[in-house]
Amino acid sequence: ENGQTDKKEMECTEEELFRRYERKALQGDSFHQCKVGECYFYGRGVEIDYKKAVKFFLMATEQGDSDGQYLLGKCYFMGRGVPGFRVDYRKSIKLFDMSAKQGNINATCWLGICNYNGHGVDYNKDVAIEAFHKCAVGGHSAGTSWFLEVGRSQPILLNELKNKKLSEAKEHSTVSIF
């Protein structure tokens, strides 16, 4: 149940879905706290309210939820709903890092973006390429695009990615040549 979308949730309106998420979020469920935050952030079933989005992302973050950390990091990166509505790259980096250490591939991609562009950290192309490579190997589409753009000068890493993709294709292939 925790972190799962059931059939009933798929058959209701955005407003009904928001109310269900909110009920579970207020009971302390970090997955649903993130969902409520996303509803407020994107205006799904409720009016857009970045401050309320941050409130719910923070609730999840305080429980160590990697999605909450990642989403709160994005709010600081964009300056939406955070104190003073100011961009704070250093806070976003800290949150992305916490989330990435728990395996959140989205946060890993954002760490790469921050390192590549020098947002909140000194510009570090090598760290960025490493993050984008990890995303590409993990199947993250944006991370793959970044890696192919930024990491194209890294033939060893490109070959590793190519070999992984070929291996996956062979594993999923049902065609036999015999």
Instruction: Kindly tell me if the per-residue pLDDT of 159 is higher than 70.
Output: no
Q: What is the pLDDT of residue 122?
A: 93
**DSSP three-state, residue 64:** coil
Please name the residues in contact with 132: beta carbons below 8 A apart, sequence gap of 6 or more.
109, 112, 116, 143, 144, 146, 147, 150, 151
Q: What is the pLDDT of residues 94-136, one digit of tens each?
A: 999 999 999 999 999 999 999 999 999 999 888 988 898 888 8
Nearest to 34 by CA among 6, 7, 73: 73
Q: How far from each other are the two terminal CA atoms of the chain, in whole angstroms?
A: 45
Percent of the chain whose pLDDT exceeds 70? 79
Q: Is 60 exceeded by the pLDDT of residue 2?
A: no
More confident residue, 103 or 7: 103
pLDDT of amino acid 172: 44
Please state the rounded mean pLDDT for residues 91-95. Answer: 97
